[in-house]
C-alpha cells in the first residue's frame, strides 16, 4: 500500500488518502501543468483568498517569503494568500497541480 493510503471498509483494490479537511469556502478550482522550470508568478504576489494546492504528478516548490515548502505527489498545502508566494515545478519533468481558491471565515 502507498504511504499514507488506506483501503476503506467495504472497498476492494481501492486506496485513498485524505488531502485536506475543512478549509473555508471554495471560490474556484483549476488544474495547472508546470513544465520544466515552469511556475509563477515570477514576482511573488498576495491576495485576499488562500490557495489549496494538491500535487497529482511531480513535485512543487512553494515559495513563501523566504521559506520553501516542497509538496510531493499525493500531498497538499494551504497557502495563506496574505503571505507573498509563488509556485514552481521542482522536478525535471512535468508537474500537475490542482489549485483551489479558498475564502476564509465563511
Let me know if residue 38 belongs to a domain. yes
**CATH number for position 47:** 2.60.120.10
pLDDT tens digit at each of 106 positions of the chain: 677 899 989 999 999 988 888 888 999 999 999 999 999 999 999 999 999 999 999 999 999 999 999 999 999 999 999 999 999 999 999 999 999 999 976 5
- Judge contact between 58 and 91, C-beta under 8 A: yes
Task: Give the 3-state secondary structure of 76-87.
Answer: EEEECCCCCEEE
Let me know if residue 92 belongs to a domain. yes
pLDDT attached to residue 99: 95
Let me know if residue 39 belongs to a domain. yes
Range of the domain at 84: 25-103
Record the pTM: 0.87
User: Rounded CA gap, 12 and 88, in Å?
Assistant: 36
User: Rounded CA gap, 77 and 49, in Å?
Assistant: 14
Let me know if residue 73 belongs to a domain. yes
Cell of 94: 512535468
Let me know if residue 10 belongs to a domain. no
Let me know if residue 2 belongs to a domain. no
Q: Which of these, 47, 68, 42, lies nearest to 99 by C-alpha position?
A: 47
Place of cell 471498509: 9
User: Rounded CA gap, 28 and 50, in Å?
Assistant: 11
Let me know if residue 17 belongs to a domain. no
pLDDT attached to residue 76: 96
pLDDT attached to residue 104: 77
Let me know if residue 13 belongs to a domain. no
Number of domains the chain contains: 1
Amino acid at each position: 500500500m502507498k504511504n499514507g493510503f488506506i483501503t476503506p471498509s467495504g472497498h476492494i483494490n481501492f486506496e485513498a488518502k485524505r488531502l485536506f479537511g475543512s478549509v473555508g469556502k471554495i471560490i474556484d478550482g483549476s488544474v495547472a501543468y508546470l513544465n520544466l522550470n515552469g511556475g509563477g508568478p515570477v514576482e511573488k504576489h498576495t491576495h485576499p483568498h488562500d490557495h489549496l494546492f494538491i500535487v497529482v504528478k511531480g513535485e512543487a516548490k512553494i515559495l513563501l517569503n523566504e521559506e520553501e515548502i516542497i509538496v510531493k505527489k499525493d500531498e497538499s498545502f494551504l497557502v495563506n494568500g496574505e503571505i507573498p508566494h509563488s509556485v514552481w515545478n521542482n522536478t525535471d519533468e512535468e508537474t500537475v497541480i490542482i489549485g483551489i481558491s479558498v475564502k476564509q471565515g465563511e
